[in-house]
Structure 1
């Protein structure tokens, strides 16, 4: 459980912040706990205000691919801050980061910087609607694309039912323009296109579903989605807020050999600082103001602190990729998954998992997990026990059973040994 200082800090925060937090999952409600409050991070470790140290697989929900407070990234931010934190006019840094993204991601010719993944996905959908002159968007159940109104929907009783608002404050009329279908079910998507194909502006998808616990696409699934969208002249948007520069240098699209029309990125391109981006083909991106009529702007877009950190991080990834960086991340994550599954078998507890690049997912389920429904069948009560026991052992995962875990480039043999030892001891208590 959270220490006394964190407990007190949470009570204080609840007086002035909704639920005591600035993002819901931080409240630890999914695991019925009190959150610990971070004091600092260093490499693969996170330290709380009660003096506890954790091997961190949260990594600020993914963007810290070089761990906490990497010296080169910290130095870049410090140097930028001395010059100024925001200018309101262009800087060369923005161009340099955009050039690097274009160089590393073949489907992207032009990039627009924004301030978050939500801004990126929201803007990409607006662009798709403008480009196609259509209004409907298809998303996949369990895939999260931020909190814009048209993404906060859930499917009805049938796979092709129109979305209903999944949050108060979202107008029914807005939600009705979003259609939700099961992930990894190409027949369900085909049915939707047979009904409304000529009205669908875009299909937006997490190529690897990171918000239901790292669920991988079935072989050939993404290729089929690409072929279907192309046949209806519908734009395909890859939401790579989680997978971008995490599962491969060129993102999931490089890993699976797919070229989407538009791509969105999140804070990984800023090494964890607030930033997002969307990009794609030149003919589409030049519809964005001031080149074209589709308006989108942001006072802090391309902020020099985020651009400085991101440029250093991307260059580090480019160099590391030449020495098998992403294979090393995956090998590490796979060892955690294998230990989790093996100890589950030893103690008669259903377990399942996936690993890809710097992502991995752990499920208390006998598998396979291939969509939101099967992910939701995972034993959440068992995950809650596992989460708190691992936290007591000095290892932190996401405080939710439907989230991915993240490996950074600074997790090493020492951290792996701590993690595997903790898993072994924790399963002895879970199986008791």
Structure 2
């Protein structure tokens, strides 16, 4: 008989950095389509969708069937397998920069390995990233991964204990969407920079016209590699991700979330000559790099990824996500205007963020200065009413319907009234 693990068995009673406060926390028993059910029987509309991977909804029958079929043939081999080969070929078919692929287990690893490959290939040590850009949990990624008031300079600041200060010295910080300032930062150290890594859409900030093109030109001019963190945007904005949507191809990209269809799978994709530094037994020219992991290319995960991408391609899911997301954002804006509550919905329709405050919200500093207390309370009030939205980030899936949108907007009206009446907007 299965018994629930004691709360103390998990450090902090959490699976990672994301944790809801006790007042609204719940334990999931199961999910189906756009719905979650808690262990005590409550039902929630899910607009977090596993933090982004569940773009088809929970327990999509074709994904479940693919996982079941593969499980019957074995869940892991530690050898080349057919599903990994098939998924790599599909990535190379869909993603513009992808000539070659290597698998790992999550987006953080993909970004970490992309930077290692870039340093090996260029024989340089420094990485340029953008203020507030989040590229996972590695020591390099955790340099100014979030913006805070009073910290608007471009000094690398480790956001976690346990990171040696020497790591910070290898990371250069620039302001997102400011190509001229970025050029000025790069110019004195151009020959030291191995990679420019960027989220093409940084959290919920769309790239300014010419910004990504400017990064492409800048990387080429200094001999660095351009790395797109497409963990969020991959297969979501377009079948080929942000690089297809914006028409700018990087040298390498990190893929995750949607790629595994809800299983732990990610990949580094890009130029074949660059990824060749990972080839086992290659001639030693001082650039050979290691990318290894026991479960890399796991056939169960690759089967789930193949099934997910097949459905996405069949439905042209990015178009559906755009339309569904636009409808949701428009409805929320109309409610807020009627209630005279100052909110903005920013970001691409498929993955949007609710921000409380007036004025332009197009920089990490502007959002840091917004009414984040009101935004968090609104999210918690939504969860109280059966809408799980993270609390303010919304991932749209093809499984969401007019019914779920209607429930979201009805409860959003109630939750906005509650925030207003609690005086959090005064």
**TM-score relative to the length of structure 1:** 0.90
Q: Counterparts of 2:402 and 2:111 in 1: how far apart (Å)? A: 37
Alignment of 1:397 with 2:393, yes or no, is no
Q: Counterparts of 2:416 and 2:154 in 1: how far apart (Å)? A: 41
What's 2:371 paired with? 379
Tell me if the contact between 1:113 and 1:275 (Cα under 8 Å) persists in the aligned partners. yes
Q: Counterparts of 1:339 and 1:382 in 2: how far apart (Å)? A: 19
- Deviation of residue 203 (structure 1)? 0.7
In the alignment, structure 2 segments of 5+ residues that lack a partner are 283-287, 422-426
1:321-332 correspondence runs (5 A): 321=316, 325-332=317-324
Tell me if the contact between 2:131 and 2:154 (Cα under 8 Å) persists in the aligned partners. no
Alignment of 1:411 with 2:406, yes or no, is no
What's 2:329 paired with? 337
Q: Counterparts of 2:92 and 2:281 in 1: how far apart (Å)? A: 18
Equivalent in 297, 304, 311 of residue 302 of structure 1: 297
- Deviation of residue 425 (structure 1)? 2.5
Q: Deviations over 1:315-361 (max 9, x none)?
A: 1111112xxx3222112212222232232233332211124252112
Tell me if the contact between 2:205 and 2:346 (Cα under 8 Å) persists in the aligned partners. yes
Q: Deviations over 1:245-300 (max 9, x none)?
A: 11111001111000000000113111010011001011101111316421111111
SS of equivalent residue, structure 1 residue 419: helix
- Deviation of residue 167 (structure 1)? 1.4
Alignment of 1:20 with 2:10, yes or no, is no
Tell me if the contact between 2:326 and 2:349 (Cα under 8 Å) persists in the aligned partners. no
Q: Counterparts of 2:154 and 2:254 in 1: how far apart (Å)? A: 25
What's 1:87 paired with? 77
- Deviation of residue 33 (structure 1)? 4.1
Tell me if the contact between 1:108 and 1:279 (Cα under 8 Å) persists in the aligned partners. yes
SS of equivalent residue, structure 2 residue 98: coil
What's 1:319 paired with? 314
The 1:421–1:301 alpha-carbon spacing in structure 2 relative to 1, beyond 3 Å, is same
What's 1:368 paired with? 360
- Deviation of residue 34 (structure 1)? 4.8
Tell me if the contact between 2:342 and 2:357 (Cα under 8 Å) persists in the aligned partners. yes
Q: Counterparts of 1:371 and 1:289 in 2: how far apart (Å)? A: 40
What's 1:198 paired with? 191
Moved more, 389-398 or 167-176: 389-398
Alignment of 1:128 with 2:118, yes or no, is yes
What's 2:216 paired with? 226
Q: Counterparts of 1:58 and 1:157 in 2: how far apart (Å)? A: 29
Q: Counterparts of 1:281 and 1:82 in 2: how far apart (Å)? A: 35
SS of equivalent residue, structure 1 residue 150: coil
Equivalent in 415, 420, 423 of residue 431 of structure 1: 420
Q: Counterparts of 2:308 and 2:152 in 1: how far apart (Å)? A: 44
* Matched pairs, number: 409
What's 1:183 paired with? 176
The 1:159–1:384 alpha-carbon spacing in structure 2 relative to 1, beyond 3 Å, is closer
What's 1:164 paired with? 157
Ranges of 4+ aligned residues in structure 1 off by more than 4 Å: 155-160
Equivalent in 253, 264, 276 of residue 263 of structure 1: 253
The 1:326–1:16 alpha-carbon spacing in structure 2 relative to 1, beyond 3 Å, is same
- Deviation of residue 392 (structure 1)? 2.2
What's 1:3 paired with? none
Q: Counterparts of 2:131 and 2:91 in 1: how far apart (Å)? A: 29
**TM-score relative to the length of structure 2:** 0.92
Q: Counterparts of 1:259 and 1:298 in 2: how far apart (Å)? A: 27
Alignment of 1:109 with 2:104, yes or no, is no
Q: Deviations over 1:152-192 (max 9, x none)?
A: 1229967443x132211100001210112222222221121
Tell me if the contact between 1:207 and 1:217 (Cα under 8 Å) persists in the aligned partners. yes
What's 1:247 paired with? 237
